[in-house]
Amino acid sequence: MPLKILLLGKDGQIGWELQRALALLGEVQAHGRDSADLARPDLAVARVRDAAPDVVVNAAGHTAVDRAEHEPHAAFAVNAEAPAALAAACADLGAWYVQYSSDYVFDGRGSAPIDEHAVPAPLNAYGRSVLAGEDAVRRSGARHLLLRTSWVHSARGDNFVKTIVRLALEHERLAVVADQVGAPTSAELVADVTAHALRAVLDRPELGGTYHVAASGETSWHGCACLIVAWARAQGLPVRTADGAIAAVSSHERKGAAPRPLNSRLDTGKLRRAFGLHLPPWQAGVQRTLAEAFAAAPRPAQEATQGQRDVQQDVPRDVQQEVQREVQREVPR
The Cα–Cα gap between 22 and 28 comes to: 7
Task: Tally helices (H) and strands (E) across the chain.
Answer: 12, 12
The Cα–Cα gap between 283 and 294 comes to: 16
* C-alpha torsion sign, points 29, 34, 39, 44: negative
Q: Do 177 and 109 share a structural domain? A: no
Specify if 71 maps to a domain.
yes
Q: Do 33 and 149 share a structural domain? A: yes
Q: What is the pLDDT along the chain (333 residues), one digit of tens a residue?
A: 789 999 999 999 999 999 999 999 999 999 998 888 899 888 899 999 999 999 999 999 999 999 999 999 999 999 999 999 999 999 999 999 999 999 999 999 999 999 999 999 999 999 999 999 999 999 999 999 999 999 999 998 889 999 999 999 999 999 999 999 999 999 999 999 999 999 999 999 999 999 999 999 999 999 999 999 999 999 999 999 988 899 999 988 776 778 999 999 999 999 999 999 999 999 999 999 999 998 755 555 444 333 333 333 345 455 555 655 555 554 455
Q: Are strands 219-220 and 181-182 parallel, antiparallel or unpaired?
A: antiparallel
Q: List strand residue ranges (DSSP E) for 200-245, in order.
A: 209-212, 219-220
Specify if 272 maps to a domain.
no
CATH code where residue 173 lies: 3.90.25.10
Query: 220: helix, coil or strand?
Result: strand
Query: In this structure, which amino acid lies at residue 34?
Result: D
Q: Do 116 and 84 share a structural domain? A: yes
Q: Do 238 and 140 share a structural domain? A: no
* pLDDT computed for residue 200 by the predictor: 97
Q: Which residues contact 195 (CB under 8 A, 6 or more apart)?
A: 18, 21, 22, 24, 25
Q: Which residues of 246-279 are buried (b: 16+ CB within 10 A; e: fewer)?
A: beebebeebebebbbbbbbbbbbeebbebbebeb
Count of other CB atoms within 10 angstroms of residue 73: 10
126 is known as an active-site residue: yes
* pLDDT computed for residue 257 by the predictor: 77
**Of these residues, 97, 100, 126, 211, which one is catalytic?**
126
Domain count, the chain: 2
Domain that includes residue 300, residue range = 160-181+217-263+280-327
Q: Do 235 and 121 share a structural domain? A: no
Q: Do 173 and 108 share a structural domain? A: no
Specify if 121 maps to a domain.
yes
Q: Do 111 and 252 share a structural domain? A: no
Q: Which residues contact 219 (CB under 8 A, 6 or more apart)?
A: 181, 182, 183, 184, 227, 282
* pLDDT computed for residue 34 by the predictor: 87
Q: Do 147 and 116 share a structural domain? A: yes
Phi and psi (nearest 5°) for 244? 75, 10
Q: Do 222 and 141 share a structural domain? A: no
The Cα–Cα gap between 214 and 186 comes to: 8
Specify if 69 maps to a domain.
yes
CATH code where residue 35 lies: 3.40.50.720
Specify if 270 maps to a domain.
no
Query: 297: helix, coil or strand?
Result: coil
Specify if 87 maps to a domain.
yes
Cβ–Cβ < 8 Å for 102, 149: yes
Q: Which residues contact 57 (CB under 8 A, 6 or more apart)?
A: 5, 6, 7, 8, 18, 22, 98, 194, 198
Q: Do 224 and 200 share a structural domain? A: no
Specify if 271 maps to a domain.
no
Phi and psi (nearest 5°) for 56? -115, 125
Specify if 242 maps to a domain.
yes
Side-chain-facing half-sphere of 254: CA atoms under 13 Å: 29
Q: Do 241 and 170 share a structural domain? A: yes
Q: Do 250 and 137 share a structural domain? A: no
* pLDDT computed for residue 236 by the predictor: 92
